[in-house]
């Protein structure tokens, strides 16, 4: 009996020794993986966050770095090594301020209000610099991978005339848009009111934007996009932010949001891409809107962006694109959301104000003063404008015309509701 107990004791001792010997190796492996990930994250942050001349802490928690204009991420691109920054466009579209009138109704709530960015309350960036929202470690860790950080998951663009319903329903993205096609376009302009839609899950987003599109909707789509968005996954909060996006290959290997990769060249020191917009529209109260103009410089071939009537932000060099190096074949204006369809139910992520178009001004979201830039570099009202939405019971769009607003439309909706289960 004593021998049996002694044997059992030695067996137990051997097992314990074996466990002790294995544990450090496993722990070492985990530590090594963690150390490698931390090193990769630090390298990526160093690539994105350029040395700042000045840094500004925004009330919303953002840090805005004032980076010398020649040190911004655009110049990481191999084709930018000898690029001379174009500090102003050679040409603006003719009739720049046409179509920008606001409602002249006697009710003060029907007048547009000025918009700024939250970080402005704490300071401004000096001349010769550009404001860049600092990327944090947590921002990178929320991404599915470092390579995917700052990129859209494809596909996100609808095909109004030739859409395969199965393709659309599987894409996980839904839209309520107005669009024009079957011509050559050299830019677009619109004024849109700005809201803070509620997002159901962090991996979903809601945005309102202008799309400048060239090529097919397969592997070679060229797209330039600008507007406002709420994206907890990208920014770590539910603030409404100004954003841009571009891709030269249908969201595969090129392009990104804002300045999160080389591409867009910013020249303006007052507006930060990715920064919070303030104030915002409120239901049945004051409405705040922004105006965005995108256009192709007919001399240099670069695609420019203007915010409001005062801020020319910068440009996408023409060499980033294949089809858009000539012209766009389609323009879209409107809203987009991600519908993750958890548990087979439609998302309750809101588009725009979260209210349907028929509710009208002060309640629904809108685009007004819709214009395109033609081959003569003139701003004009688009011909043959159509609308598109996958599920009008979830998000809808209604177009109209008036003397004050020109061509306009209301759009959006609540997502899941009794008619959109």
Q: How sure is the predictor about 2, in pLDDT bands with cuts at 50, 70 and 90?
A: low
What pLDDT is stored for residue 219 in this prediction?
77
What pLDDT is stored for residue 108 in this prediction?
36
- Sign of the dihedral defined by the CA atoms of residues 138, 144, 147, 150, in that order: negative
What pLDDT is stored for residue 170 in this prediction?
45
In a domain, 118, yes or no: yes
Classify residue 178 as exposed, middle or buried by CB count within 10 Å of its CB (0-12, 13-18, 19+): buried
What pLDDT is stored for residue 152 in this prediction?
87
Per the structure, the complete domain to which residue 343 belongs is given by 45-412
Q: Indicate the range of 148-162, 283-297, 304-318, 383-397 predicted with least confidence.
A: 148-162
In a domain, 227, yes or no: yes
Is residue 161 over pLDDT 80? no
In a domain, 351, yes or no: yes
* pTM (two decimals): 0.87
**Mean pLDDT, rounded, of the chain:** 87
Alpha-carbon distances of 96 from 191, 242, 265, 374, rounded to whole Å = 13, 21, 22, 13
Alpha-carbon distances of 139 from 21, 95, 148, 232, 253, rounded to whole Å = 37, 41, 12, 10, 20
Which of 196, 204, 332, 336 is catalytic? The answer is 336
Number of domains the chain contains? 1
Could you identify the residue written with the tokens 């959006």?
412
C-alpha torsion angle, residues 25, 27, 32, 33 (rounded to 10): 120
Is residue 127 part of the annotated active site? The answer reads no
What pLDDT is stored for residue 100 in this prediction?
39
Is residue 102 over pLDDT 80? no
Is residue 336 part of the annotated active site? The answer reads yes
Which of 196, 204, 225, 332 is catalytic? The answer is 225
Tens digit of each residue's pLDDT (9 = 90 or more) over 52-76: 999 999 999 999 999 999 999 999 9
DSSP state of 280: -
Is residue 112 over pLDDT 80? no
In a domain, 106, yes or no: yes
Could you identify the residue written with the tokens 């390579």?
147
In a domain, 39, yes or no: no
In a domain, 35, yes or no: no
Beta carbons within 10 angstroms of residue 321's beta carbon: 25
Tens digit of each residue's pLDDT (9 = 90 or more) over 322-356: 999 999 999 999 999 999 876 778 999 999 999 99
User: 15-51 burial, b for 16+ CB within 10 Å, e for fewer?
Assistant: eeeeeeeeeeeeeeeeeeeeeeeeeebeebbeebbbe
CA distance 232 to 241: 11
In a domain, 28, yes or no: no
In a domain, 121, yes or no: yes
């Amino acid at each position: 009996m004593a021998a049996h107990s002694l044997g059992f004791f030695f067996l137990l001792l051997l097992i314990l020794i074996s466990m002790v010997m294995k544990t450090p190796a496993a722990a070492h492996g985990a530590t090594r993986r963690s150390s490698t990930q931390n090193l990769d994250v630090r390298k990526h942050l160093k690539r994105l966050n350029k040395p700042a001349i000045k840094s500004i802490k925004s009330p919303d928690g953002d840090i805005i770095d004032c980076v010398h204009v020649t040190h911004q991420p655009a110049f990481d691109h191999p084709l930018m090594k000898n690029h001379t920054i174009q500090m102003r466009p050679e040409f603006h579209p003719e009739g720049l301020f046409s179509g920008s009138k606001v409602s002249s109704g006697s009710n003060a709530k029907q007048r547009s209000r000025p918009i700024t960015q939250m970080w402005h309350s704490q300071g401004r960036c000096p001349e010769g610099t550009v404001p860049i929202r600092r990327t944090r470690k947590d921002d990178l860790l929320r991404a599915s991978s470092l390579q995917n950080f700052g990129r859209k998951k494809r596909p996100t663009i609808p095909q109004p005339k030739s859409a395969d319903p199965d393709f659309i329903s599987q894409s996980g993205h839904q839209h309520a848009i107005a669009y024009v096609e079957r011509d050559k376009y050299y830019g677009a302009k619109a004024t849109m009111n700005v809201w803070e839609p509620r997002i159901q899950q962090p991996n979903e987003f809601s945005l309102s934007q202008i799309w400048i599109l060239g090529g097919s909707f397969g592997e070679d789509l060229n797209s330039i996009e600008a507007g406002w968005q709420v994206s907890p996954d990208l920014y770590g909060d539910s603030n409404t932010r100004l954003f841009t996006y571009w891709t030269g290959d249908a969201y595969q290997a090129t392009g990104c949001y804002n300045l999160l990769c080389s591409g867009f060249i910013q020249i303006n020191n007052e507006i930060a891409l990715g920064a919070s917009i303030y104030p915002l529209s409120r239901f049945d109260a004051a409405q705040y809107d922004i105006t965005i103009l995108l256009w192709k410089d007919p001399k240099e071939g670069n695609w420019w962006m203007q915010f409001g009537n005062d801020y020319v932000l910068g440009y996408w060099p023409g060499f980033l694109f294949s089809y858009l190096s000539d012209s766009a074949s389609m323009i879209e204006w409107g809203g987009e959301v991600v519908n993750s369809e958890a548990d087979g139910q439609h998302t309750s992520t809101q588009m725009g104000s979260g209210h349907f178009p028929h509710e009208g001004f002060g309640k629904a979201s809108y685009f007004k003063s819709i214009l395109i830039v033609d081959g003569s570099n003139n701003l004009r009202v688009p011909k043959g404008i159509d609308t598109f939405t996958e599920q009008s019971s979830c998000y809808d769009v209604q177009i109209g015309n008036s003397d004050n607003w020109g061509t306009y439309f209301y759009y959006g909706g609540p997502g899941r509701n009794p008619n959109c289960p």
